[in-house]
């Protein structure tokens, strides 16, 4: 399937801007769908700065490449079995990645960002402990816990460095 400039604009609008907020910067390669005049004008309308990576070294960002490979692997499994559009499957794939504990840190990416575990959609309708014990005071407690997010991230960095040394 060939991704066009219009498809890319629609994807960014529906799945990023409408869900989260306007981007400050869009980093991409120099592909036609990313470097066209229409996309440039569209980005200017939204105040999005376009930045392009080097064509000669597309694999220079190893961490992004590892994340992309993980996303592609999950896409292959899901789309081979159920079919459908990758754009429709992306939110579910990203949710799975963000809520799965990583071997290097021992915690989920969601936990590193929010210092807590996500409530999966099934738990909202089912009377689990987390749903039963929810109260309005949780918001205040959550704000207090945000003070410890940096400490949790530092701990994850130490665990990740230990993991990398074991791998070497």
- The residue extents of the domains of the chain are 1-55, 99-167
Each residue's pLDDT tens digit, 15-50: 888 877 888 888 887 777 888 889 899 999 989 999
pLDDT at position 41 is 92
Nearest to 33 by CA among 14, 54, 11, 8: 8
Topology of the domain covering 1-55: Nucleotidyltransferase; domain 5 (3.30.420)
Q: How far apart are CA 26 and CA 52, in angstroms?
A: 8
User: How far from 44 is each of 23, 26, 27, 48, CA to CA, in Å?
Assistant: 11, 11, 14, 6
CA angle 66, 14, 64 (to 5 degrees): 10
Instruction: Please list the ranges in the chain whose pLDDT falls under 50.
Output: none
The structure's pTM equals: 0.48
Tokens of 87: 């754009």
Q: How far apart are CA 150 and CA 41, in angstroms?
A: 38
* Chain length of the chain: 168
DSSP letter string over 63-124? HHHHHHHHHHHHHHHHHHHH---HHHHHHHHHHHHHTS--TTTSS-HHHHHHSSPPPPHHHH
pLDDT at position 58 is 54
CA angle 67, 72, 77 (to 5 degrees): 130
- Tell me, what DSSP letter sits at residue 30? S
């Amino acid at each position: 399937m060939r991704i066009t400039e219009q498809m890319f604009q629609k994807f960014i609008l529906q799945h990023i801007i409408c869900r989260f907020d306007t981007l400050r910067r869009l980093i991409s390669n120099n592909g036609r769908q990313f470097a066209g005049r229409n996309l440039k004008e569209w980005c200017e309308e939204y105040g999005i700065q376009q930045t392009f990576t080097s064509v000669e070294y597309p694999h220079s960002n190893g961490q992004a490449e590892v994340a992309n490979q993980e996303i592609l692997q999950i896409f292959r499994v899901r789309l081979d079995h159920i079919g459908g559009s990758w754009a429709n499957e992306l939110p579910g794939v990203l949710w799975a990645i963000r809520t799965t504990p990583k071997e290097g840190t021992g915690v989920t990416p969601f936990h590193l960002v929010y210092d807590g575990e996500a409530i999966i959609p099934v738990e909202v309708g089912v009377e689990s402990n987390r749903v039963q014990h929810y109260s309005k005071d949780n918001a205040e407690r959550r704000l207090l816990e945000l003070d410890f997010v940096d400490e949790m991230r530092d701990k994850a960095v130490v665990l990740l460095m230990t993991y990398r040394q074991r791998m070497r």
